[in-house]
Structure 1
């Protein structure tokens, strides 16, 4: 048992509420979808989930700060600067097209410490969670979870490598480096969004990398991956996630054993 057991229980409650709202709107014929200023879609399910989570946190953790993708930040008045970081539906493009690979991401950061992470993918019937020092787990829900851990693969030639869209890597000037890594690995797939990271935490693949993510995209993933024995940094080897609302950072997640090799292989920005 860790010092964050009550916070984890609350995070599961938030995830339960998010699941109920999102599943009710998934594949709904009257689903409303708009385009945000950054040209990404937002559905009425995204906004409804975040509103519900905000209401519950205001009731149960009024001193904690909050950062959500749809409604921004509110400051923490907690002495440790605790804040919850929420992505109501990660994988909105999947959600609006009827693809079941989407999840609600719920994180608690205690100062700079990633303390709690919950990733709930109800259309897949799967949830992942972790607390700092308490291990990482996965299953249909908190009453039926098993401890998970990363793989022991030691060579890139034996590694299953996951990545985000090729367009993002091209925009980052590292497409050639990524393609060389994919050719060097045993297998490559682009599962996308949260899913590749959770497969990494379960040991089903060995590397997941994206060139540009917002804080809410990755905050809940970090404690799960690290408690499963993995390593998460940016492309420069700095702890990730970094940055504040409105900023983005790269993410490289591995089983730990492969991390230095993967960073070296991706450290080749194209010449402009």
Structure 2
């Protein structure tokens, strides 16, 4: 593995923070869930979501007290003299999987750097899936990597190889109208793929494209914290990546025809 990524300060903090969040999730205990709905029925949050985000924030703040923090469960925290680095945190991506004891859930941490022109560049990412015992991480210009946490084996990620038997990953929202729109677009896209997978975690969908297990991923209506880390990991693995700011409401990675990613009609 390139020493540059092992010594990159933001990648190191991202990895420590994602590991801290995942350690909370590894203590999964059904009696301690305390489930409630957020935006809609089924859009669950648990005490583990909150505890994981607290652990991630504490880890980042200990190392980088001048960085801005944004996350899924708590308000943004902006220091008086910000460094120009902002962290986007999803403490538990795949909450439904977590509650229902399906292994595809993770802690996801991404960092972006504020540029002089006011834009932001994503520069560091780490995702840890405790039930799968796997870590993914990447740095801007430094490549993307997967680590088997059981054996310590490291693998450089290089994305999917074009194949006539392509598989698409996707997801669906909690709102019925949004699901209907997503299903219509999916029907249009199916001609390009032989099958579809619904993993239940956008962050891990993006990692699966990065490692070549999925050929593509596309989902409408994701939030920044859903894709912040995973999109950089896929990008550094050499995948084409489109973020919602560029493609109206869509996050995609891999072998996708962006022309098919339309907007909902009223």
Identify whether the pair has TM-score above 0.5, normalized to the shorter chain: yes
2:137 aligned with 1:137, yes or no?
Answer: no
| One of 241, 266, 270 as aligned partner of 2:261 | 266
Aligned pair in 2 of structure 1 residues 265, 42: CA closer, same or farther (>3 Å)?
same
Corresponding position of 2:171: 164
**1:60-139 maps to which residues of 2 (within 5 A)?**
60-75=63-78, 81-111=84-114, 112-139=120-147
Tell me how far apart the structure 2 counterparts of residues 53 and 270 of structure 1 sit (CA, whole Å): 35
Tell me how far apart the structure 2 counterparts of residues 62 and 82 of structure 1 sit (CA, whole Å): 11
SS in 1 for 2:241: strand
**1:205-224 maps to which residues of 2 (within 5 A)?**
205-224=214-233
2:57 aligned with 1:54, yes or no?
Answer: yes
Aligned pair in 2 of structure 1 residues 5, 271: CA closer, same or farther (>3 Å)?
closer
1:40-95, CA deviations, whole angstroms, 9 ceiling, x for partnerless residues? 21111111111122222222101100001111211255665211110100011111
Does the 8 Å contact 2:32/2:47 carry over to 1?
no
Does the 8 Å contact 1:178/1:266 carry over to 2?
no
Tell me how far apart the structure 2 counterparts of residues 17 and 28 of structure 1 sit (CA, whole Å): 20
Instruction: Give the deviation of 1:168 after TM superposition.
Output: 6.4
Aligned pair in 2 of structure 1 residues 167, 37: CA closer, same or farther (>3 Å)?
closer
Corresponding position of 2:250: 250
SS in 2 for 1:191: coil
Aligned pair in 2 of structure 1 residues 107, 197: CA closer, same or farther (>3 Å)?
same
Aligned pair in 2 of structure 1 residues 198, 73: CA closer, same or farther (>3 Å)?
same
Tell me how far apart the structure 2 counterparts of residues 132 and 271 of structure 1 sit (CA, whole Å): 36
Does the 8 Å contact 2:133/2:148 carry over to 1?
yes
SS in 1 for 2:32: coil
Aligned pair in 2 of structure 1 residues 59, 33: CA closer, same or farther (>3 Å)?
same
Aligned pair in 2 of structure 1 residues 174, 59: CA closer, same or farther (>3 Å)?
closer
Tell me how far apart the structure 2 counterparts of residues 11 and 166 of structure 1 sit (CA, whole Å): 28
Instruction: Give the deviation of 1:143 after TM superposition.
Output: 5.0
Aligned pair in 2 of structure 1 residues 9, 270: CA closer, same or farther (>3 Å)?
closer
Structure 1 length-normalised TM: 0.83
SS in 1 for 2:207: helix
Tell me how far apart the structure 1 counterparts of residues 177 and 37 of structure 2 sit (CA, whole Å): 24
Aligned pair in 2 of structure 1 residues 250, 169: CA closer, same or farther (>3 Å)?
farther
Does the 8 Å contact 1:168/1:212 carry over to 2?
no
Structure 2 length-normalised TM: 0.85
Tell me how far apart the structure 2 counterparts of residues 265 and 211 of structure 1 sit (CA, whole Å): 12
Gaps of 5+ in 2: 115-119
2:43 aligned with 1:34, yes or no?
Answer: no
Aligned pair in 2 of structure 1 residues 85, 169: CA closer, same or farther (>3 Å)?
same
Of the structure 1 ranges 81-90 and 189-198, higher mean CA displacement relative to structure 2 is found in 189-198
Does the 8 Å contact 1:8/1:116 carry over to 2?
yes
Q: CA RMSD in A?
A: 2.7
